[in-house]
Structure 1
Amino acid sequence: MGMSEVIVSKRDILLHERLRIISELAPIREKIRLFEEKYRMTFEEFERKLKSSEESFEAWDDYIEWKAYARKLTELESKLREIEHAQRIRIA
């Protein structure tokens, strides 16, 4: 009984990776949207307002969480762009 060979194309891998990132992006975008609705402003506006005033502990907690989501969003979006522009891929 010989080993059956599995052929995976570069395109398949990129497609899979792209779908994985897109599925991670959705809940992060949703969390960010909820913060934007709660405070009726973008993260940048919220950050400026927070740093120039004595806001509540709740606002600071939200800030820390929101900042983490904003960072993760940026990271995932740049990964997605890399995949969409990928010319070479190395399977490690």
Structure 2
Amino acid sequence: MQLENMTIKVPKTAVKDLKDKEILFFLLDKALSKLEFYRSKCKQFEKKYGTTLEKFRQKIEIEEENFEWWDDFILWEGYEKAYQEWKRKYEEIKFVLQNN
């Protein structure tokens, strides 16, 4: 994992109260919130179709074309990718916090 410095402008009054770790905790909380949002969207589709994304993909590829299923598949796949991305970000931020 590559780390990069980041510079942001904040009000002077906030600077004295914020520590680097606190900012990382804010980022961790944001990442957790995002990953939980996307996970809940995936769970909605799992409940609706009673299966996993991969099994659903296999089903719609062999059955007669169903536009609602394909629309849901595209959304579901996007939610899954977003979930995986935010999960990765969460784990990276958590790692930085644990090792600083």
TM, length-normalised to structure 2: 0.76
**How many residues are aligned here?**
86
In angstroms, what is the RMSD of aligned CA positions?
1.8
Cα gap change, 1:58 to 1:13, in 2 (>3 Å): same
Partner Cα distance (1:40, 1:24) in 2: 24
Structure 1's consecutive aligned runs of 4 or more residues displaced over 3 angstroms after TM superposition are none
Counterpart of 2:48 in 1: which secondary structure?
helix
Equivalent position amino acid for 2:95 in 1? H
The answer to whether residue 45 in structure 2 is matched with residue 35 in structure 1 is yes
What are the within-5 Å matches in structure 2 for residues 45-56 of structure 1? 45-56=55-66
Equivalent position amino acid for 2:63 in 1? S
% identity of equivalent residues: 34
Cα shift readout 1:13-61 (whole Å, capped 9, x = no counterpart) = 1100011111222222211111001110011111111122223100000
User: Residues 46 and 53 of structure 2 are in contact (CA less than 8 Å); yes or no, is this contact kept in structure 1?
Assistant: yes
Cα deviation for residue 9 of structure 1 reads 2.1
TM, length-normalised to structure 1: 0.81
